[in-house]
Amino acid sequence: MVTKRQGVTMPPRPPTGWPPDDTEESVVGTNLHQATITNLRVGLNEVAAALAPPGQAAPGQALSQTIIRNFRRRMGMNKPIVVDSHHHFWDPARTRYPWMTDEMAAIRRPFGPDDLRPELAAAGVDYTVLIQTRSSEEETRAFMAIAAATPFIAGVVGWVDLTAPDVAERLAALKARPDGATLAGIRHQVHDEPDARWLLRDDVRRGLRAVRDAGLAYDLLVRTRELPAALETVRAFPDLRVVIDHIAKPPIQSGEIAAWVAALAPFKEQERVYCKLSGIVTEADWRDWTARDLQPYIDRVVTIFGEDRLMFGSDWPVCLLAASYTTVYATLRDALRGLSPSARDKVFGANAIKFYQLILEAQPCESAWGEQEHDDTHHRDEDESHENLVGGTLWPDSKHVD
């Protein structure tokens, strides 16, 4: 029976016991599920909007999301949340990036949310963490504002001067901003410092204490040279959440591995230290790399950090120098095919959420992507191959990015 309320046609109540708990894909296909969800969302949102007082937001939006989420659960359509823990934005037209040499001409253009959005949709990635590109608090503030306005960005890793006497006050000011909740961590390009033991300086350690006391994580951007000082640092700060970016940038192109493994292996015992499976393709030969070149390095990192302390990162758009976003994503999933599905779910999402303490306000299908639904084939099919590179726009001096 169809009823009306305030001029809105209300859908008939579904029969008791529908949808059935044991519905099989062979009976009700995924496409039908998703079409039903889309129609359900539209109808619920229309009803919520009609019932809202004039000029006010619809109070039924949260209920609408809950109903849809429950429907997905009943239909067996839930998929693990996928998080890209490492990507960047920039605009060379507005800011100078000294590290962006002629060799990087292919990526010397603006990259922003509109460029990344279709890449995430193609790969089936739900949320991201936006990482600083230059030593600039201005950029950090700009990134926080962008994150607050972009549903798929779940957190920002920014920059502050760790050596500044007032570093604690600077961090507090960032967190006190209206968009302060987007700040998840801090990073500095340690591998660009002339001193391999820069992390051990007293003023740097004061800064790291401030990061810890602010409840933020710290991204370690280091190479083999800086790993001994990094190890001393994490031992001195056992309660600081630390992640090593780009598996510490091993020399994949040369094929050397022994020194890198020896320096990285002691981190196996540092249970609070994570590692990002990111920036790997650009450490190989940009034009002639193969998955076989990467596998030994990925295997070593899996052995050292295990399934609970690894996280996927695309390093987009830097990765475009060597591979498309979806190629990076699919290559890593294939490289981790020896892990169980639940272990891969951790690497591709759960670990980043835990490490950065990300707050995801709704399931990605209801927030980050609006009415667009993702099926699980992106995350279960290990034979994907993708190619895509899109153009776009964005924005707000600089040292180095990776």
pLDDT in tens, 71-81: 555 554 568 99
Query: Where is 261: in which H helix or E strand?
Result: helix 258-264
Domains and CATH numbers, the chain: 3-74 (no CATH), 83-380 (3.20.20.140)
Strands (E), 151-248: 153-158, 183-188, 217-220, 242-244
Count of Cβ atoms closer than 10 Å to residue 352 Cβ: 30
- What integer pLDDT is reported at residue 161 of this predicted model? 98
- What integer pLDDT is reported at residue 99 of this predicted model? 78
Whether 109 contacts 140, CB under 8 Å: no
User: In one letter, which amino acid is 203?
Assistant: D
User: Distance between CA atoms of 345 and 33, rounded to whole angstroms?
Assistant: 23
User: Distance between CA atoms of 40 and 47, rounded to whole angstroms?
Assistant: 11
User: In one letter, which amino acid is 80?
Assistant: P
- What integer pLDDT is reported at residue 339 of this predicted model? 98
User: Distance between CA atoms of 271 and 309, rounded to whole angstroms?
Assistant: 8
- Token representation of residue 224: 């083999």
Count of Cβ atoms closer than 10 Å to residue 371 Cβ: 12
Closest Cα to residue 312, out of 65, 96, 124? 124
Whether 185 contacts 155, CB under 8 Å: yes
User: Distance between CA atoms of 152 and 314, rounded to whole angstroms?
Assistant: 15
- What integer pLDDT is reported at residue 395 of this predicted model? 39
pTM for the full model? 0.76
Collect the ranges in the chain with pLDDT lower than 70: 1-78, 361-402
User: Distance between CA atoms of 285 and 37, rounded to whole angstroms?
Assistant: 45
